Structure 1
Amino acid sequence: MKIEKVTGNKKQFLDLLLLADEQEDMIDRYLPDGDLFALYDGDLKSVCVVVPVNGETCELKNIATCVKYQGKGYGRALIRYIADYYKSDYKTMLVGTGETPAILSFYKSCGFEEPHRVKNFFTDNYDHPMFEGDIQLIDMIYLKKDLQG
């Protein structure tokens, strides 16, 4: 398994990024200034994008694993890698997601804790109703992870 930081042509990963954020213009807001990492184990398995928030905090804006490889630990390995990568630069990493029990459970198992929510984020910022399975996403749940603890 190898993880590399991608510096050019980040849009080549758009199809995979759209698994985690299904509206391209939302991805376009953070992809140019974000650090994109790709995890390969033979072929491409997972990608993520991390952006700075301020001098102490960065945010995991997108993490996606190819559907056929989900549940095999690639997303967790990528989070471990980026947490280690950023620990000397930032104290905290944030991640925002919808109120989906399986996804919240995944992030909490990776060491994230739930500090706050942004009411109506998905209904106010997307041009169509967003669903994860049969759950409509309304509020953005922000979780945080201490990178230096």
Structure 2
Amino acid sequence: MNIAVSPSHQQRGIGTRLLETVIDKMQESGAKGLEVGTGTFGYQLTFYQRQGFRVDCIDKGFFLKNYPEPIFENGVQHKDMLRLTLEFSGDTSCQRTV
């Protein structure tokens, strides 16, 4: 699912409140964590990192494969997606297998 705040309403804490509500509801439901995906650069990445999300993996070519039109930010094309996780259990060790 995508969530966004209209550019004309950004920088007012709305996105932070939305995300905090999602985090609270997920914790209350018993979830062990939350995963989000975002571009590899830009304000969105730091937004999630401020909330405690940490980079988990890179989905290479995600924006190239899944969007019909290129997405640019500050003159740079988004190609890869970073997957970030917020672990509710406190366990942040890497447990992926290849």
Regarding TM over 0.5, the answer is yes
User: What is the RMSD of the two structures over their aligned residues, measured on CA atoms?
Assistant: 1.4
Deviation at 1:148, TM superposition (A): 4.3
Match of 1:115 among 42, 50, 56: 56
TM-score by length of 1: 0.55
Equivalent residue number for residue 38 of structure 1: none
How many residue pairs get aligned? The number is: 89
| Matches of 2:30 and 2:8, distance apart in 1 | 33
TM-score by length of 2: 0.81
| Matches of 2:89 and 2:15, distance apart in 1 | 20
| Matches of 2:6 and 2:89, distance apart in 1 | 30
Match of 1:144 among 85, 90, 97: 85
Match of 1:129 among 70, 75, 87: 70
Contact 1:90 1:147 in 2 (8 A): yes
| Matches of 2:73 and 2:30, distance apart in 1 | 33
Deviation at 1:62, TM superposition (A): 1.5
Per-residue CA shift, 1:75-100, capped at 9, x if unaligned? 01111111111113311111101122
Structure 2 gap ranges (5+): 91-98
Equivalent residue number for residue 10 of structure 2: 70
Which amino acid in structure 2 is aligned with residue 85 of structure 1?
Answer: K
Structure 1 gap ranges (5+): 1-60
Match of 1:79 among 5, 12, 19: 19
Which amino acid in structure 2 is aligned with residue 81 of structure 1?
Answer: T
Provide runs of 4+ in structure 1 moved above 3 Å.
Answer: none
